[in-house]
C-alpha cells in the first residue's frame, strides 16, 4: 500500500512536470505571437527553439537547409528564436561593410589555444587592431617574395604525382592539405616543413591531421555545452581523441616556430633575410602589448587561425577544381591550350602576374570559388544596442522588418552564389559565364558584386590574395602535367558537399587519378 510520502512525492513530481510543460508552452506562444520577430516568415518550429537548426548543423547540411528556406519563404527568414537570415545584396553591404556589426558568440567555438585571433574577435574595433598586424603581409607585392617557395612546393607536388603508379588514385583532400601546409608554413615561418615529403613516404603528419580536424571540432563545440564537450572528449577512441586534441597539436607546433623566430630576431640572425615572414611581422606588431607573454600568446593564436584558414580551405577548393577537370574534358582542353602559350616547359611555372592575365584560367578559378568556395556558411553578426555609438537606430530595419538589439543576423555565400537571377543555371559549373563577350558587361558586374567566397565587408579573409596565387599556380602545374580521371569510388554522391563552416565531400575524401600528360 503506497505511503503518504509516496503520494506527496508523486503529486509534487507531476505538478513540477506540469509547470515545466506550461513554461515551454508559454515560451512557444510568446515566440510565435508576441516576439518582435514573430512577423518574419519561417518554419514555426524554428521560431520556438534553436534545436531544429542545430540538428542540421550536426548533420553538416546547414548551408543547403538555409538555401531551401530562402526558396520557400523569400529573402528574409527567421531560423531561431533570436536569429534571422537574409539573402539580399543591399542588406549585405549595410551589415558587413557600412554599419560593420560585431560578430556573434558562435565564433568563440573557433578559439585557438584558448585565445582569440582575428576570426574570433567579436567587436569590430578590436578586430581592426589585430588586422593591422597581418594585413601588410598579404599584399601582392609582399607575397611575390614568397613565390619561389610556392613554385618549389608545386614542383614537388608534380614530382610526387609523377612517381605514382599509373592508374592508382590519390586522395586529393589529404594530398593538397599537405601541399598547403608547406606553402603557408613557408610564408609564415620562412621555411618548408616537408609535409609533402611525409605524405610521399606514407607518414602521418599530426599537424596536417589537426588542421583538417579543427573545423569539425569547432562545429561540434558550438552545438554542445562546454561541460558536455569536455565529457565527450574523454571517450577512449584514438581517432576521436585526435580530433579533440587538434587545437593542442597545432598550438605545440606553432609555439615552437614562434619562439624559434623570436630567438632569431633577438640574436639578429633574421636581419640578413631580404623578406619578412608573418611570424616576424606579428611579433614586432604585438611587442607593444602589456606583457611579453600576452604578446606571444596572441601571435601563436593568430598563426593557428591562419594555418586553419589558409590550409584546409584552399585544399578543399583545389580538390573540387580537380574533380571538375576529371569529368570535364572540354574545360581541361581549354585550360591546357591557354597555359601552353605561357609554359614552354611543363615544370617551369609562370609568375603570378602572367597567370592572372590568362582569361580562361581566371574564369575557371572564379567559377570554382563560386561553386566550391570553402567557407560558404552563415556569417553571423549581432544588431548593436542603441547605446553603442553607431548610425543604427534602436531597431534595425532589415528589408521592412524591425530587428531589436541583440538579434543575430546572417547571410551566406552559398545562397548569394546560387541566385538564378544573377547566375543562370546556378548548379552548372561553367567558367564561360565569366568570359567577356562584349555585351555582358552588366551581367559580369552583377556576378562580381554577388561573389563572396572569402567573406565580405570589413572582416573579409585577410589571406585571400595568397589563396588566389596558390590556386592559379597549382592548377597550372596540374593541368600542364597530368590528365585527370575519376575512379569508380568518386561519384556525384561521394562528392556532395557537407559543411561545418567550411565545406568538404560527403565521403570525406576526393580520390582522383593523375596520369602523366600525353604528348600532343
Cell 597567370 identifies what position? 355
Cell 591531421 identifies what position? 209
Name beta bridge partners: 170: 512
- Hey, how many other C-beta atoms are within 10 angstroms of the C-beta on 380? 19
Angle between helices 206-223 and 51-58 (to 10 degrees): 160
Cell numbers found for residue 52:
531544429
- Hey, how many other C-beta atoms are within 10 angstroms of the C-beta on 208? 26
Spatial distance between the Cα atoms of 320 and 468, rounded to a whole number of angstroms: 15
DSSP 414-430: HHHTT-TTTSSSTTS--
Distance of CA 215 to the CA centre of its chain: 8
Query: Given strand 102-103, what is the order of strands in its sheet?
Result: 76-80, 83-86, 408-410, 381-382, 102-103
Name beta bridge partners: 64: none
63 annotated ligand binder: no
Angstrom CA distances, 126 to 103, 129, 197, stand at: 11, 5, 39
Where b means 16+ CB within 10 Å and e means fewer, 248-268 reads: ebbbebbbebbeebbebbeee
Distance, first Cα to last Cα, the chain: 95
Spatial distance between the Cα atoms of 510 and 490, rounded to a whole number of angstroms: 7
Spatial distance between the Cα atoms of 7 and 50, rounded to a whole number of angstroms: 37
Name beta bridge partners: 516: 482
> CA torsion sign, 248 to 254 to 260 to 262?
negative
Cell numbers found for residue 511:
580520390
CB distance 85 to 410 below 8 Å = yes
CB distance 37 to 84 below 8 Å = yes
Which residues participate in the annotated binding site for heme?
461
Which residues participate in the annotated binding site?
461
Amino acid at each position: 500500500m503506497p505511503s503518504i510520502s509516496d503520494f506527496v512525492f508523486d503529486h509534487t513530481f507531476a505538478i513540477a512536470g506540469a509547470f515545466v510543460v506550461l513554461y515551454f508552452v508559454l515560451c512557444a506562444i510568446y515566440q510565435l505571437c508576441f516576439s518582435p520577430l514573430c512577423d518574419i516568415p519561417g518554419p514555426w518550429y524554428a521560431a520556438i527553439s534553436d534545436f531544429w537548426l542545430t540538428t542540421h548543423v550536426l548533420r553538416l547540411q546547414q548551408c543547403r537547409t538555409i538555401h531551401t528556406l530562402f526558396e520557400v519563404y523569400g529573402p528574409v527568414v527567421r531560423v531561431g528564436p533570436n536569429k534571422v537570415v537574409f539573402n539580399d545584396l543591399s542588406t549585405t553591404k549595410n551589415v558587413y561593410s557600412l554599419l560593420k556589426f560585431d560578430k556573434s558568440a558562435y565564433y568563440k567555438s573557433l578559439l585557438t589555444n584558448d585565445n582569440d585571433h582575428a576570426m574570433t574577435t567579436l567587436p569590430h574595433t578590436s578586430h581592426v587592431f589585430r588586422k593591422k598586424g597581418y594585413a601588410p603581409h598579404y599584399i601582392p607585392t609582399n607575397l611575390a617574395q614568397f613565390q619561389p617557395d610556392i613554385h618549389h612546393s608545386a614542383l614537388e607536388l608534380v614530382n610526387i604525382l609523377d612517381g605514382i603508379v599509373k592508374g592508382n588514385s590519390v586522395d586529393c583532400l589529404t594530398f593538397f592539405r599537405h601541399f598547403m601546409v608547406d606553402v603557408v608554413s613557408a610564408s609564415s615561418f620562412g621555411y618548408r616543413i616537408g609535409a609533402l615529403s611525409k605524405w610521399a613516404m606514407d607518414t602521418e603528419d599530426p599537424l596536417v591531421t589537426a588542421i583538417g580536424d579543427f573545423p569539425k571540432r569547432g562545429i561540434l563545440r558550438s552545438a554542445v555545452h562546454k561541460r558536455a564537450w569536455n565529457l565527450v572528449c574523454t571517450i577512449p577512441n584514438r581517432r576521436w581523441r585526435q580530433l579533440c586534441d587538434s587545437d593542442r597539436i597545432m598550438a605545440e607546433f606553432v609555439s615552437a616556430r614562434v619562439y624559434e623566430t623570436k630567438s632569431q630576431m633577438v640574436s639578429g640572425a633574421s636581419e640578413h633575410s631580404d623578406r619578412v615572414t608573418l611570424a616576424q611581422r606579428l611579433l614586432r606588431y604585438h611587442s607593444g602589448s602589456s606583457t611579453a607573454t600576452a604578446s606571444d600568446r596572441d601571435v601563436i593564436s593568430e598563426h593557428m587561425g591562419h594555418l586553419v584558414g589558409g590550409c584546409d580551405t584552399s585544399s578543399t577548393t583545389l580538390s573540387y577544381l580537380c574533380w571538375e577537370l576529371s569529368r570535364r574534358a572540354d574545360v581541361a582542353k581549354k585550360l591546357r591550350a591557354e597555359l601552353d602559350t605561357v609554359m614552354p616547359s611543363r615544370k617551369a611555372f609562370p609568375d603570378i602576374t602572367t597567370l592572372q592575365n590568362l582569361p580562361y584560367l581566371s574564369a575557371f578559378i572564379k567559377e570554382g570559388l563560386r561553386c566550391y568556395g570553402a567557407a560558404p556558411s552563415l556569417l553571423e553578426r549581432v544588431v548593436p544596442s542603441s547605446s553603442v555609438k553607431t548610425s543604427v537606430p534602436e531597431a534595425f530595419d532589415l528589408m521592412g522588418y524591425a530587428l531589436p538589439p541583440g538579434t543575430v543576423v546572417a547571410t551566406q555565400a552559398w545562397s548569394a552564389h546560387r541566385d538564378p537571377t544573377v547566375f543562370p543555371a546556378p548548379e552548372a559549373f561553367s567558367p564561360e559565364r565569366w568570359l567577356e563577350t562584349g555585351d555582358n558587361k552588366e551581367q559580369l558586374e552583377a556576378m562580381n558584386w554577388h561573389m563572396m567566397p572569402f567573406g565580405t565587408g570589413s572582416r573579409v579573409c585577410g589571406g585571400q590574395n595568397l589563396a588566389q596565387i596558390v590556386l592559379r599556380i597549382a592548377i597550372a602545374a596540374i593541368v600542364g602535367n597530368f590528365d585527370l580521371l575519376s575512379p569508380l569510388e568518386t561519384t556525384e554522391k561521394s562528392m556532395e558537399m557537407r559543411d561545418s563552416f567550411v565545406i568538404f565531400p560527403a565521403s570525406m575524401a576526393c580520390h582522383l587519378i593523375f596520369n602523366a600528360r600525353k604528348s600532343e
